[in-house]
Amino acid sequence: MNFLLKAATIIDPASPFHNKTVDILIENGIIADINAAIKASDSVEEIALNNLHVSQGWFDSSVCFGEPGYEERETIDNGLQVAAKSGFTAIGLHPNTFPVIDNSASISFLKGKAQNHAVSLYPIGALTTQSAGKDMAELFDMQQAGAIAFGDYKKAIQNPNLLKIALLYAQNFDGLVMSFPQENNIAGKGMVNEEEQSTLLGLKGIPALAEELQIARDLFLLEYTGGKLHIPTISTAKSVELIREAKAKGLHISCSTTVHHLVLTDKELDTFDTNYKVLPPLRIQKDVDALIKGVEDGTIDMVTSDHRPMDIEHKKVEFDNAKYGTIGLESAFGILNHLLGIEKTVDMLTNGKSIFGIKNTIIDKGNKADLSLFNSKNDAIFTEKQILSTSKNCALVGKNILGETYGIIANGKMILK
């Protein structure tokens, strides 16, 4: 299909057309022309949308669906449709399925399910067999099959020697190791942030120390071994400080935080709404402020939705028994744009590609069209009606958003809401 985007404002600092409002002609998946006014031929579909903005395609490094094994939560097909309509042209998909994605055959299965879709699915392989934390999985074989990184989703690597070996081994093929930041012996049976709010509500707490101690350990190991380490979804002020210091030392360290950790605190738990039961837990305002500063100064490399669909049977239960997780693909752009502004939002949604070995595609003539389409304006409230996922467990319903997503053009296809 050929497309002509009319009056599109380009947000791409690397492009010669940055901040210019132009027409963009796309033929056979390639940007054929960018000009002030382009006349559409009969073979071109003209796209004219209110306050249309385009940027390089967005990437979410922390997404879960359910298939295989938990299709009632989300299928790959519908999950990719949700990602597309939320403005994402690429996702990193976690291995927390049944069976766990811990070998090359299962990586190939995921790639096959997403074949010919507009959204590119990049599997993250489990670091350990069955994500059990004991034996290292087949990292090289998975990388050859298409895995972009290796980590056990929401499961900390308790054995430091295992992480040491993984960091050493992955250097043979430039692999990226992910380590979830939680020291389980400190976290214990906690489920929310250990602070005044947990005491008032009578809920067992996870202290910030549990995250920070694990990060400090991982950074010591990285300094010893070399290699590449990514710490996903950090949530505390001290975590930001530790990673800032490690980057100043020149360590090859990257990290992310989540949309919900940038805008929510543990005060949300007053109603015992299990949609706010997330891991890491929601922290206090001091931590939120430090995370925002970390985003603004570049200590935090990317922001993720940490999209984790969960069926109603695991959320509409007592708080103690509820599963962790919130969905966030649909609300990510609007929340971030309201908080950070358009250019920083686009930066946070595209910067992660290079860290995970995915090529950034500058918006210019002759380049592949990998575009997110959106409206940067219009204040609104995010509502449940805007949820497209099969599961509806969203912690961000009722929060302020700015702008809306229209969809994507990628891999020669267009998907609009």
Question: Residue 60: pLDDT band by 50, 70, 90 thresholds?
Answer: very high
Question: Residue 70: pLDDT band by 50, 70, 90 thresholds?
Answer: very high
Token pair 């009722």 in the structure block, residue: 398
Range of the domain at 326: 57-355
Q: Which helix (H) or strand (E) holds 340?
A: helix 329-340
Which of 9, 59, 60 shows the shortest CA–CA distance to 305? 60
CATH code for the domain in which residue 31 is found? 2.30.40.10
pLDDT digits (tens, 9 = 90+) for 225-278: 999 999 999 999 999 999 999 999 999 999 999 999 999 999 999 999 999 999
Note whether 307 and 399 are same-domain residues: no
Q: DSSP secondary structure string, 99-127?
A: S---SHHHHHHHHHHTTT-SSEEEEEE-S
Note whether 76 and 47 are same-domain residues: no
Rounded to whole angstroms, the Cα distance separating 180 from 166 reads 14
Note whether 47 and 148 are same-domain residues: no
Q: Is the distance from CB of 339 to CB of 292 less than 8 angstroms?
A: yes
Q: Is the distance from CB of 175 to CB of 165 less than 8 angstroms?
A: no
Note whether 154 and 276 are same-domain residues: yes
- Among all residues, which ones are annotated catalytic? 306
Rounded to whole angstroms, the Cα distance separating 61 from 82 reads 15
pLDDT digits (tens, 9 = 90+) for 315-333: 999 999 999 999 999 999 9
- Per the domain annotation, does 251 fall within a domain? yes
Note whether 61 and 46 are same-domain residues: no
Taking the model in full, what pTM does it have? 0.97
Average per-residue pLDDT for the chain:
97
Note whether 124 and 42 are same-domain residues: no
Note whether 239 and 290 are same-domain residues: yes
Query: Which residues are within 8 A (CB) of 285 and not within 5 positions of it... i.e. 6 or more apart?
Result: 265
Q: DSSP secondary structure string, 282-307?
A: P--HHHHHHHHHHHHHTSS-EEE--B
Note whether 205 and 328 are same-domain residues: yes
Q: Is the pLDDT of residue 41 over 90?
A: no
CATH code for the domain in which residue 169 is found? 3.20.20.140
Note whether 211 and 308 are same-domain residues: yes
Token pair 């976290």 in the structure block, residue: 187
Q: Is the pLDDT of residue 190 over 90?
A: yes
- Per the domain annotation, does 389 fall within a domain? no
Q: DSSP secondary structure string, 127-190?
A: SBGGG-SSSB--HHHHHHHT--EE--TT-----HHHHHHHHHHHGGGT-EEE-----HHHHTT-
- Per the domain annotation, does 385 fall within a domain? no
Q: Is the pLDDT of residue 311 over 90?
A: yes
Note whether 229 and 253 are same-domain residues: yes
Q: Is the distance from CB of 324 to CB of 277 less than 8 angstroms?
A: yes
Question: Residue 344: pLDDT band by 50, 70, 90 thresholds?
Answer: very high
Note whether 316 and 329 are same-domain residues: yes
Note whether 34 and 147 are same-domain residues: no
Q: Is the pLDDT of residue 88 over 90?
A: yes
Q: How many domains does the chain have?
A: 2
